[in-house]
Structure 1
Amino acid sequence: MTDVRGAEVRVPTEDGAADAYLARPADGVPRPAVLVFTDAFGLRPAVRDAADRVARAGYTVLVPNLFHRRGPAPVVELPAFIDAEARGELFARLRPALRELTPRRATADAGAYLRWLAERPEAADGPVALTGYCMGAGLALRAAGAFPDRVAAVAGFHGGRLATDDPDSPHLAAPRITAEVYLGHADEDPSLPPEQIERLEGALTDAGVRHRCEVYPGAAHGFTQPDTASYDEKADERHQAALLDLLERTFPPGAST
């Protein structure tokens, strides 16, 4: 099993430095980079563990605090386990940070994260992969459209509001995406009803984007997050396999040398 080193780092952005977690194999060899966009609960122990797992598979993984303008993560105090009652209370407290992270700011931040990775000795030369969870799935799609020359693959899991009528809906980035896309949708997710899934897949198809969209039966919004009541072990295992499959196709053996 590959040894992993994790470190707390700071990434310069146009609005100050973002705190972030960097995980990579301990051998010091430059590895293909993966940029992770978290859910609204942000950078926390469960997310660091997930980053370590991807690094253990042979990648350099950066997980920024998406709400860095509000201070270091976590920007609100989080319980060890987020049940249904705590979830509502936490979202009420996170609402100002969510409103503050506009599409323009999120895209500018994504560019800063990508530039930082391009300069790091731990990251192999060339494009990176993006993966996003919940709100992070939409951020990943927008970033892929904004920086097509820097992004080779995009994965999104239990994303919400991905194909709305809003003028900045994530699905509208499809014509600018050149990366391969994989999306694992939650079956029981009011934030992504069937009509949005259909609209999203239609946009990707019409744009000629290589993609696969799958609905995980019985899975709720947030099914990959083990520190929440939405966690689904079977769906999480499927997500892990799908993510690594995409990464292995994008960065075949030898890509890290």
Structure 2
Amino acid sequence: MTAPVVFRTVDIALADGTADAYFAHPDDGAQHPGLLLYPDAFGLRPWLREIVETIASGGFAVLSPNIFYRSGRAPVLPMPDFDLPDAHSAFFEALAPLRAALTPDKAMQDAQGYLDWLAADAAVTPGPLAAAGYCMGGRLALRTAATLGDRIGAAASFHGGFLAADDRPDSPHHDAAGITAELFIAHADQDSSMPADQIAGLERALDAADVRYTSVVYPAAAHGFTMRDTPAYSEEAYHRHLRDLLGLLHRRFDAE
């Protein structure tokens, strides 16, 4: 069941500046569970707005921030023209210093600010919040759950990469012991950033920490399968991700 939503762009005051963000919630005057939705590396753009509004129509108050706000308002970089042979690599080369500036400590400092803003909004139900994300945003969502503990009641990652990379300090498996949320993690079966050995390593870390989680591999899916404005998009996987995410959120929050 879906509902009409209210959408607006908001500014969030943080320690290092002001982050612009998308925010949407059902247009019914009621409070709804809050979700911090991290975008992929391409950032806020029309397709992310559509995702935010779609999830909000399922009964949630959804905040999606410009995680690279230190470098400017969204779009910090324009979407690449995927018809050009070097566009994808050129985009990520330009993005490299922005990603480097978003250190693990800075990212979690920002996460606290995003959650504080979300919790204070009149459209958001008091209590634990949720976090979810795509690609690098999936990694941020799991790290938010690991770092902020009981503030996060549910967290999800979709085609997140390097989730169990021993040589990366931002790999969430390092801090799995801090996770009290229920997790849903969807991998792509054609994703070099999350091969089978890392999936197994992540599951071992979550098992050792006694975390409640579901870990699945979507078949015939590439890294980035939720993103309709990229060549990786899969219509089937996108709709499956919506069912899985909303299922997690309703399972966790409907009883409260």
SS at match of 2:174: helix
Q: TM-score, normalised by structure 1?
A: 0.95
**Equivalent residue number for residue 129 of structure 1:** 130
Distance in 2 (CA, whole Å) between partners of 1:83 and 1:4 is 34
**Equivalent residue number for residue 161 of structure 1:** 162
Aligned length: 253
Contact 2:146 2:172 in 1 (8 A): no
**Equivalent residue number for residue 244 of structure 1:** 246
2:24 aligned partner, one-letter code: A
Contact 1:65 1:73 in 2 (8 A): yes
Inter-CA distance 84–102: structure 2 relative to 1 (3 Å threshold): farther
**Equivalent residue number for residue 108 of structure 2:** 107
Distance in 1 (CA, whole Å) between partners of 2:30 and 2:88 is 40
Distance in 2 (CA, whole Å) between partners of 1:102 and 1:142 is 12
More deviation in 82-91 or 95-104? Answer: 82-91
Contact 1:21 1:64 in 2 (8 A): yes
1:58 aligned partner, one-letter code: G
**Equivalent residue number for residue 39 of structure 2:** 38
Question: What does 1:89-104 align with in structure 2 at a 5 Å threshold?
Answer: 89-104=90-105
Distance in 2 (CA, whole Å) between partners of 1:137 and 1:167 is 15
Contact 2:142 2:155 in 1 (8 A): yes
CA offset at residue 234 of structure 1?
0.8
Q: CA RMSD in A?
A: 1.3
User: Which segments of 5 or more consecutive residues in structure 1 lack a partner in the other structure?
Assistant: none
Inter-CA distance 83–227: structure 2 relative to 1 (3 Å threshold): farther
Question: What does 1:2-81 align with in structure 2 at a 5 Å threshold?
Answer: 2-79=3-80
Contact 1:201 1:213 in 2 (8 A): yes
Distance in 2 (CA, whole Å) between partners of 1:108 and 1:128 is 16
SS at match of 1:129: strand
Distance in 1 (CA, whole Å) between partners of 2:168 and 2:137 is 18
CA offset at residue 158 of structure 1?
0.4
1:172 aligned partner, one-letter code: H
Contact 1:83 1:228 in 2 (8 A): no
SS at match of 2:224: coil
Identical counterparts, % of pairs: 48
CA offset at residue 166 of structure 1?
2.2
CA offset at residue 251 of structure 1?
1.1
2:43 aligned partner, one-letter code: G
Contact 1:161 1:191 in 2 (8 A): yes
Runs of 4+ residues deviating >6 angstroms: none
Distance in 2 (CA, whole Å) between partners of 1:247 and 1:235 is 18
String of CA shifts for 1:65-106, please: whole Å, max 9, x gaps.
000000101101225x64574322211111111111110000
Inter-CA distance 135–83: structure 2 relative to 1 (3 Å threshold): farther
Inter-CA distance 82–13: structure 2 relative to 1 (3 Å threshold): farther
Distance in 2 (CA, whole Å) between partners of 1:34 and 1:115 is 12
Distance in 1 (CA, whole Å) between partners of 2:84 and 2:124 is 38
For the pair 1:193 / 2:198, whether they are aligned, the reply is: no
**Equivalent residue number for residue 173 of structure 1:** 175
SS at match of 1:149: helix
1:125 aligned partner, one-letter code: P
String of CA shifts for 1:10-40, please: whole Å, max 9, x gaps.
1111101100010011112111001001110
Inter-CA distance 82–155: structure 2 relative to 1 (3 Å threshold): farther
Inter-CA distance 58–12: structure 2 relative to 1 (3 Å threshold): same
Contact 2:22 2:64 in 1 (8 A): yes
SS at match of 2:188: strand
SS at match of 1:208: coil
